[in-house]
Copies of this chain bind each other. A is one copy, B any other.
């Protein structure tokens, strides 16, 4: 029997999603809680891997168990009691045996938050960057991403990706009245490190180092050395994972409050 778990986590204390020797990962934390609860060794497969310190407002993972769960909602409740404060499960739901948290996912969305003013309440939940940024120009540069499909410029050297092709369906910057800049990007897939390299380069657009044309030439160059340094992990959130309607339907209560 296969189940999907919907969850969120504060990445601050973790080496990322993926299990690693000698470091706390979200994957291992979730596996340990599930194994304790279900009294059998449980392995989980995540929709995507987040890096050290990166958060997830919404993530999905699947696991298999020998016998069907009698009450998945109660399993979710008990999981939350077993899990630490920084990992929260929204729900546990049965899926078809061939539903796969990673391979069945049709789209993923990431958001990145920059605080432009000092805020004592979001120190580890956003990148605090107090120099002026031209958000309108960053937004124009971001919008141009929809015209491209090869993101080699924002890939990581020696990654295992067979291709650097991503179909981006949404990319843009918005500014809230409280001075929070929000970057939203949605695509069928993302390369490792891609969102942070994009944000770092777009911030260089915003602070005047590049204009929109230069940004486009960086994308077009397919040259890993031209992107700017990656933006800090604490501002990045895996925000959504979407599946075809026949595979999995997102639960009703899957939003924590903080930014939006």
Using a CB–CB cutoff of 8 Å, the interface residues on chain A facing chain B are 8-10, 55, 80, 85-89, 117-123, 125, 128, 176, 178-180, 253, 255-259
Interface centre among A117, A118, A125, A176 (most CB of B within 10 A): A118
Minimum C-beta distance from A236 to chain B (A): 13
Cα distance A128–B86 in the bound complex, in angstroms: 12
Residues from chain B with a CB closer than 8 A to the CB of A257 are: 119, 121-122, 176, 178, 180, 259
Among B117, B176, B180, contact of A253 (Cβ-Cβ < 8 Å)? B117
Residues from chain B with a CB closer than 8 A to the CB of A180 are: 257
Residues from chain B with a CB closer than 8 A to the CB of A87 are: 120
Given contacts A178-B257, A257-B180, A257-B259, contact A8 B86 (CB under 8 A): no
Q: Which residue of B lies closest to A256 (CB)?
A: B119
Cα distance A120–B118 in the bound complex, in angstroms: 22
Minimum C-beta distance from A252 to chain B (A): 11
Q: Which residue of B lies closest to A125 (CB)?
A: B121
Minimum C-beta distance from A54 to chain B (A): 13
Given contacts A257-B259, A259-B257, contact A118 B88 (CB under 8 A): yes
Residues from chain B with a CB closer than 8 A to the CB of A10 are: 120-121, 123
Minimum C-beta distance from A77 to chain B (A): 9
Q: Which residue of B lies closest to A56 (CB)?
A: B120
Cα distance A118–B88 in the bound complex, in angstroms: 6
